[in-house]
């Protein structure tokens, strides 16, 4: 086996229905096993992996294949298929990962969980806790209850949102094609694989129109949408063939596999831009010690908070002010204003006793904070 060096340390791997079924109408467990083996190999190299898996509806259809009552294409029937299929999909993954002693955990998400501020933090904290405990998050959209308004709709975009939430280095989208081609390779013999995309411009979007994949919801268009979203939040994206040997290890080692989309910003920049673009909904006045700590790049602990101004929710961006009323930083609050008032001036170890629960030991984590006038 090759001994290339790992370049991506946190990776979201999206496996589409066409890959999971290997082009048939049912889950292909051998294909799933091959993918799991590759995931285990990269985990052994200390790469953190999150798996976004499609196939719930495909697995549901498999269970109903002998049903006499025809299945309509209505939304409730698809929801039912997803409800039935999701547990079979998970069972299949669980049995496979059990062979490698890998603990997995199911996470079913909707758009609201990844965009609504409070839910976003909950999803992020849960995924991070799983990674911290060497548990492999196995993620899908919550198709059984997700209706149009709260659906992401396809797992390509879902995987990009997840990659953004956990600040992955790499989003690997495994599909039944080798990547993005200059033309549809099934129709045009001159079509060549595009190895690298530095800028996702109009010419690239035009190429996607030509290609449609069979089983999954997403053709190349949703993959490009995902690449666009993820690269804007600092994630490298690779679209590769899920049937290719060692696709996962090669991508994680930065070797040329499929089409690679380069990030347009780094994580920190993207996060800072987001925080600065948000209107602050409240503020905290902090004491001198906390003001110094924050300016030194430390998290803001409740013990340094003197006063909480206005009402805000967990997950909203608030201002951190010194005693003269000057904004020294803006950041995402882990607690609501009401909760912050109750823990203000208290030591972090007291949080649980005061509130009855603890989201985090700090009010604002340094990674979620932008200094307004950083030292030169």
Nearer to ligand GLU, 16 or 263 (CB): 16
Q: By CB under 6 A, is residue 16 in contact with ligand GLU?
A: yes
DSSP calls for 111-169: HHHHHSHHHHHHHHHHHHHHHHTT-EEEEEE-TTT--GGG---SHHHHHHHHHHHTT-S
Cβ 245 to ligand GLU, closest distance in Å? 23
Nearer to ligand GLU, 155 or 233 (CB): 155
Q: By CB under 6 A, is residue 251 in contact with ligand GLU?
A: no
Site size toward ligand GLU (CB under 6 A) is 16
Q: By CB under 6 A, is residue 163 in contact with ligand GLU?
A: no
Contact with ligand GLU (CB under 6 A) among 12, 15, 17, 351 = 17
Cβ 85 to ligand GLU, closest distance in Å? 7
Neighbouring C-beta atoms of residue 103, cutoff 10 Å: 12
Q: Report d(CA 121, CA 109) in Å as an integer.
A: 13
Nearer to ligand GLU, 16 or 242 (CB): 16
Stretch binding ligand GLU (CB under 6 A), from 126-134, 140-148, 267-275, 321-329: 140-148
Q: In degrees, to the nearest 5, what angle opens at C-alpha 235 toward C-alphas 230 and 237? A: 75
Q: Report d(CA 331, CA 121) in Å as an integer.
A: 13
Contact with ligand GLU (CB under 6 A) among 19, 54, 79, 177 = 54
Cβ 266 to ligand GLU, closest distance in Å? 28
Contact with ligand GLU (CB under 6 A) among 216, 242, 282, 315 = 216
Q: By CB under 6 A, is residue 339 in contact with ligand GLU?
A: no
Nearer to ligand GLU, 57 or 291 (CB): 57
**Beta-carbon contacts of residue 227 (< 8 Å; ≥ 6 apart):** 160, 171, 173, 197, 200, 237, 239, 261
Phi-psi region of 134 (alpha: psi -120 to 50; beta: other; left: phi over 0): left
At residue 298, the 3 state secondary structure works out as coil
**Strand segments (E) across 193-248:** 196-197, 236-241
Residue with tokens 């010419």: 203
For residues 78 and 143, the answer to whether their CB atoms sit within 8 Å is yes
Instruction: Work out whether the CA dihedral 305, 307, 313, 315 comes out positive or negative.
Output: negative
Nearer to ligand GLU, 110 or 280 (CB): 110
Nearer to ligand GLU, 63 or 117 (CB): 63
Q: By CB under 6 A, is residue 155 in contact with ligand GLU?
A: yes
Q: Site residues (CB under 6 A) for ligand GLU?
A: 16-17, 54-58, 82, 140-141, 143, 154-155, 216-218
């Amino acid at each position: 086996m090759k001994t290339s060096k790992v370049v991506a340390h946190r990776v979201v791997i999206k496996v589409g229905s066409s890959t999971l079924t290997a082009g048939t109408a049912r889950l292909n467990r051998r294909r799933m096993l091959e993918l799991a083996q590759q995931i285990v190999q990269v985990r052994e190299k200390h790469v953190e992996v999150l798996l976004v898996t499609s196939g719930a509806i495909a697995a549901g259809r498999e269970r109903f294949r002998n049903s006499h009552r025809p299945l309509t294409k209505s939304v409730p029937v698809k929801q039912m298929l997803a409800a039935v299929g999701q547990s079979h999909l998970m069972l299949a993954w669980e049995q496979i990962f059990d062979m490698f002693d890998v603990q997995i955990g199911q996470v079913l998400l909707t758009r609201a969980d990844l965009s609504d501020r409070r839910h976003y933090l909950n999803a992020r904290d849960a995924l991070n806790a799983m990674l911290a405990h060497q548990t492999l998050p196995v993620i899908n959209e919550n198709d059984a209850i997700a209706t149009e308004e709260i659906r992401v709709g396809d797992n390509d975009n879902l995987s990009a949102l997840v990659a953004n939430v956990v600040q992955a280095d790499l989003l690997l989208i495994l599909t039944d094609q080798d990547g993005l081609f200059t033309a549809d390779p099934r129709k045009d013999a001159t079509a060549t694989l595009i190895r690298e995309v530095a800028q996702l411009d109009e010419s690239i979007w035009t190429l996607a129109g030509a290609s449609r994949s069979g089983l999954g919801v997403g053709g190349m268009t949703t993959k490009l949408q995902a690449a666009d979203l993820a690269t804007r939040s600092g994630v490298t994206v690779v679209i590769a063939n899920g049937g290719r040997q060692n696709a996962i290890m090669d991508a994680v080692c930065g070797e040329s596999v499929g089409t690679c989309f380069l990030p347009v910003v780094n994580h920190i920049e993207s996060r800072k831009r987001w925080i600065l673009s948000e209107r602050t909904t409240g503020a905290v006045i902090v004491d001198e010690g906390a003001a110094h700590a924050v300016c030194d790049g430390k998290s803001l602990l409740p013990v340094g908070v003197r006063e909480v101004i206005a009402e805000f929710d967990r997950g909203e961006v608030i201002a951190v002010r010194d005693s003269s009323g000057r904004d020294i930083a803006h950041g995402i609050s882990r607690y609501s204003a009401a909760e912050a008032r109750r823990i203000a001036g208290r030591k972090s170890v007291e949080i649980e006793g005061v509130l009855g629960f603890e989201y985090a030991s700090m009010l604002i984590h340094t990674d979620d904070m932008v200094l307004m006038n950083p030292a030169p």
